[in-house]
């Protein structure tokens, strides 16, 4: 990665895990073919507070891809309408999927 106006490249060991994950999400959003399904487990993990809302908004504004996302973060829960939710629970080897109502 190269920062505008700086001559040296930024090498992967010098990028935080949150910034790397943010760059990967943004790359997937713009480079995935239309109709792709993107699965993200624990979406908020490693994303900093400065990136969480921006990446969430990019996902919400992207009608050409489908996302399956797991999250426990209040920002995600409060900003993705519950009409898109499925509540998945597991007790032992029994998995149940419910509507949010």
Residues above pLDDT 90, as percent of the chain: 27
What is the residue-wise DSSP string for 12-66? Answer: GGGS-HHHHHHHHHHHHHHHSPTT-EEEESSTTTT--HHHHHHHHHHHHT-TTSE
60-88 confidence digits (pLDDT tens): 888 899 988 888 888 888 888 888 888 88
Residue 54 confidence (pLDDT) above 90: no
55-64 confidence digits (pLDDT tens): 888 888 888 9
Q: Which residue has the higher pLDDT, 45 or 31?
A: 31
pLDDT of residue 34: 94
pTM, to two decimals: 0.72
- Look over the chain and give the mean of its residue pLDDT values, rounded to a whole number: 87
Record the tokens describing residue 60, joined without a space.
């919400």
> What is the C-alpha to C-alpha distance for residues 89 and 101, in angstroms, rounded to an integer?
15
């Amino acid at each position: 990665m190269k920062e505008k106006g700086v001559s040296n490249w930024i090498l992967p060991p010098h990028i935080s895990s949150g910034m790397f994950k943010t760059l990967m999400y943004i790359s997937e959003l713009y480079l995935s073919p239309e109709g792709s399904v993107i699965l993200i487990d624990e979406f908020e993990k490693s994303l900093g507070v400065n990136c969480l809302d921006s990446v969430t908004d990019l996902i919400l504004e992207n009608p050409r891809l489908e996302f399956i996302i797991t999250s426990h973060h209040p920002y995600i829960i409060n900003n993705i309408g519950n009409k898109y939710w499925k509540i998945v629970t597991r007790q032992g080897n029994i998995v149940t999927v419910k509507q949010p109502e």
